[in-house]
Amino acid sequence: MKKVLIDGESLTIEDVLAVARQGAKVDLAASARGLVERSHLWVNEIVNQGKPVYGINTGFGIFAEERIPSEDSAQLSRNLILSHAVGTGTPLDDEIVRAAILVRANTLAKGFSGVRVEVIETLLALLNNNVTPVVPSQGSLGSSGDLAPLSHLAMVFTTDERDLVSESGLARFEGMILSGKEAMARAGIDRIVLGPKEGLAVNNGATFSAAIAALAVYDGETLLRNAELSLAMTLEAIMGCSAAFDERLHAARGQTEHSDLPPRRAGSIRHPCVCRTRSQRAHQVHRGHTGKQRRRSPDRRVRQSRLRRRPYRAERPAGGEWVPHRCCSGICGRALILVPARCRQTRRGGYGRG
């Protein structure tokens, strides 16, 4: 199974999917470990010097001017988590919670949050041991941060000197919903006491929003890719008209977005004169190009006779000619299109072999 290595810089949507839905294991890169340790030393220096810095040794919000003694910094972080764990609504799906844990761990791995390496390792232990906190779906403050959802997550893997079961949240482990304390104990993971700045680092960020968006982007691209392939295959099966997908028509109208599609998508639908597709071969069988002449319907003979009587070209541009276009399902209106000389239609209505 794929193993994801987080360093704060290279996490992809595919990585999020592998961890959230496929249960991939996660580890912290050695390069990120050094950055995290350095930022934590910086926080310790501030605490030792006694300089007032918001979120480290001060209150929050309207209490930002209140100084907090260094010996109370751990309780400050714990109180921040407990006070914001007030979400409501049905629980989020496990895949969303797992994606959010990965995103939060990756954010902390950047080395700008001042947390200990142990905080990140505990988050990764939740993923690697399939301990999934139960997180209510309502309570995010949007751009101000998913404070309530992240606090419910943090309740499971953090504790304080009282270590109350009622303050450990809920988690799913081995198919059962348990208290966070019991789930962590069964999984063999130690709950940690948050230090200075760590409470703010854990519950401040649009992490669940990013997790939901990552999964939605992947699902959206999957649906779009399948829709394109379905369209192409359906067009082949019904011998549909593909002239509307000619890139020269889009270029003439200034619709150049299709040129940004990967070759896989852009090549799903091709002009029938350019590529000998299945529908073209089927058309040639009907026309008798394989030696097996089929009886033509009266309606088809009429349409073909009209095509023969119609003037063939308005002019002959260099490298091609204006010809009436015929697709596999019949005549596509009366529009004349410029077709390269190597693949232009002959007077008898068939396709050239170039």
**Could you give the residue numbers annotated as active site?**
54
* CA proximity to 127, closest of 87, 158, 172, 175: 172
**Do residues 215 and 96 touch, judged by C-beta distance below 8 A?**
yes
Q: CA dist 137 to 126, 146, 147, 235, Å?
A: 19, 10, 12, 42
φ, ψ (nearest 5 deg) of residue 236:
-65, -45
Q: How far apart are CA 108 and CA 202, in angstroms?
A: 8
Q: What is the 3-state secondary structure (H, E, C) of the chain?
A: CCEEEECCCCCCHHHHHHHHHHCCEEEECHHHHHHHHHHHHHHHHHHHHCCCCCCCCECCHHHCCCECCHHHHHHHHHHHHHHHCCCEEEECCHHHHHHHHHHHHHHHCCCCCCCCHHHHHHHHHHHHCCCEECCEEECCCHHHCCHHHHHHHHHHHEECCCCCHHHCCEEEECCEEEEHHHHHHHHCCCCEECCCCHHHHHHCCCHHHHHHHHHHHHHHHHHHHHHHHHHHHHHHHCCCCCHHHCHHHHHHCCCCHHHHCCHHHHCCCCCCCCCCCHHHHHHHHHHCCCCCCCCCCHHHHHHHHHHHHCCCCCCCCCCEEEEEEEECCEEEEEEEEEEEHHHCCCCCCCCCCC
The encoded tokens of residue 78 equal 């714990």
